[in-house]
Chain A
Amino acid sequence: MVSTREALNGVRADLFDEHGELPDDVESVPTRQGYGDALVELGTRDERVVVLTGDLADSTKVGAFRDQFPGRFFDLGVAEQNMMGVAAGLALAGKIPFVSSYATFSPGRNWDQFRVSVAYTRANVKVAGAHSGLSVGPDGATHQAMEDIAMVRALPNVVVVVPCDAEETRKATLAVTDLDGPAYLRFARNATPLITSPDSPFTIGRATVVRNGDDVAIVACGPLLVEAMRAAEILARDGIDARVVNNHTIKPLDEATLIAAAEQTGAVVTVEEHQVNGGLGGAVAELLAQHHPVPMDIVGMPDHFGESGTPEELLARWGLTAEDIARRAAILLRRKA
């Protein structure tokens, strides 16, 4: 049985077919492509926008910006610490720099520069961490950034956004540019189903409910949002109505939407391609423990390093598929008061 449901907050209503799979007409695009597109848009309309990369122009999708605005593009070589500091200096002199690298290097390699040169100063620097999570698959654990959300979330003054698809990434990139202060954007490597459209609402700090339900809330961020939605389809077959929340902004957290979800469903499962320590799950747990404690489960990397394999194999190996989410949500329901 397939649940009939309305399109909510701009996410396609016909996202899954009768087998709970994505139909063929759902296009897949890497989230970082939305970043590259937005930068070209920004470069055209704002001369203050400059782009920095550490020898990763094409894989962070900033090549188009480089080609159109070569004077405002800087390749700093494999030197992420200096890159973050240079960005701070550019920002302090009035530019809006975008620091583009892989999350495992930036903020992985330059967290101290992010902290002191950028966050403490409130320098208007936007940091883009690409190739996060398990999506770099075969490269193995060294390149799988599974700690970056925790790292940046700990820093005062920093806005943290994990968009779910390329379109949301484009909007997030534009939105953080309108903020005067540091921000971190997190992307994946793989092509991700395009589930939002240019008309879908997007506001920093405002989570969107993409599926209604009152039995359990599944709060997800990034490309795993699709898995969370598929998990809701699986649960629906067992008569469980799951609410799915697209929690793209990890900081500042949308407290009202999350507390309402806890109040109205009584059980919350978080889903992220990140360690279970200190990421989305940690943020939601901190909020709910203080304001509305309910049984919770945190689906993510269980305090372990990754390994080589295809992204699909790794998601299955570490329990991050829709089936895993649905199973854990069903178990969590038994703990509801």
Chain B
Amino acid sequence: MSVVEVDLALTANTIRQHIISMLVEAGSGHSAGPLGMADVFTVLYFSVLHVDPDDPWMPDRDRVVLSNGHICPVWYATLAERGFFPVSELATLRKLGSRLQGHPHARSLPGIEASAGPLGQGLSQAIGMALSASLDGARWRTHALLSDGEHDEGQTWEAVMFAAKCRLHNLTAWVDRNNIQIDGFTEDVMPLEPLAAKYESFGWHVVEIDGHNHRAIADAARLAEAVFERPTVVICHTIPGKGVDFMEDDYTWHGIPPDRAQAAKALTELRSLRGRIDGEYA
């Protein structure tokens, strides 16, 4: 790995540790999704996005909309690690009076662009932002992060159709294809496949990647920028609970936090992984 890649890997590892600490402190929340998307968030905020933690609302910033709001611990941890607000504030997740609401509240925190909770609402909001940029001839891009499960929602497909109609080439949707939702595997609860073909038939530019491969994530982001007349969807194949062995690929970790003992075990695992990343660089 190059120096940059090692840095990104270490950052993602730090973010995963934050997520475990936040969840155990909160005593409720979702574990699998945030861990699974830590690599995508890391690469976006540390390598792709035009954002400035010191001027979080600058007019030409790239916009990020998290549609599956329940994975917000990864968004909060990434924003804090990037300098949008103090890392110490992560411990207030889901507590009374906190800016870190259980599901994101727009503008409650620097960097939180839209509210989300009930699934299926994010892509529409991202489209509105991208349309606004088009109207103004602005160069900033809008990134929507979606879960696979929320493709059960009709609104998601209403939005998919409309983005294609508007030829929104300044919009990138990142789909967390982790194959799980609350009641089980997506293909058992409500089959989504062939997901890529569906998007293609709706007129989107489709990229499929390993959602833990940092170089692939960055490449997909740049590829999307090179496409005209079509919105891009990056289907990110991820492992829910990634980085914590006993959570990986187990849908029962979708909506629960670790207890103290499980958190200690998870943190030990993540720290030893960190050692291996460092070792690879050395």
- The interface of chain A, by Cβ under 8 A from chain B, is 50, 71-72, 74, 76-77, 79, 81-95, 97, 112-113, 116-117, 120-121, 123
Contacts and interface: CB of A to CB of B under 8 A. Distances in A.
Contacts of A87: 128
Interface string B88-126: 000000000000000001110000011111101111111
A121 B161 contact: no
B158 A79 contact: yes
A233 B133 CA distance: 55
Interface in B118-163: 118, 120-133, 135, 154-155, 158-159, 161-162
A85 B125 contact: yes
A319 B262 CA distance: 65
Contacts of B162: 76-77, 79, 82, 86
Interface core residue of B121, B131, B161 (most chain A CB under 10 Å): B121
A5 B131 CA distance: 53
A87 B124 CA distance: 8
Contacts of A91: 128
Nearest to B65: A89
B155 A82 contact: yes
B114 A88 contact: yes
10 contacts: A72-B135, A76-B162, A83-B124, A85-B155, A90-B128, A93-B129, A113-B155, A116-B115, A116-B116, A121-B115
A142 B73 CA distance: 42
Contact of B132 (A94, A113, A117): A94
B135 A71 contact: yes
Contacts of B133: 93
Contacts of A86: 124-125, 127-128, 131, 159, 162
A79 B115 CA distance: 20
Contacts of A81: 120, 124, 154-155, 158
B63 interface: yes
B115 A117 contact: yes
Contact of A116 (B117, B131, B159, B161): B117
Interface of B: 63, 65, 105-107, 113-118, 120-133, 135, 154-155, 158-159, 161-162, 166
A117 B120 CA distance: 11
Contact of B124 (A72, A88, A95, A120): A88
Interface core residue of B105, B116, B128, B159 (most chain A CB under 10 Å): B128
Contacts of B105: 120-121
A299 B281 CA distance: 77
A68 to B, nearest CB: 16
Contacts of B123: 85
Contacts of A84: 124
A82 B144 CA distance: 14
Contacts of A50: 135
A293 B260 CA distance: 55
A315 to B, nearest CB: 35
A71 B137 CA distance: 12
A113 to B, nearest CB: 6
Contacts of B113: 92
Given A72-B135, A79-B162, A113 B129 contact: no
B124 A85 contact: yes
Nearest to B117: A116
Contacts of B116: 116
Nearest to A74: B131
A320 to B, nearest CB: 35
Nearest to B120: A81
A72 B105 CA distance: 28
Contacts of B107: 121
A188 B123 CA distance: 32
A84 to B, nearest CB: 7
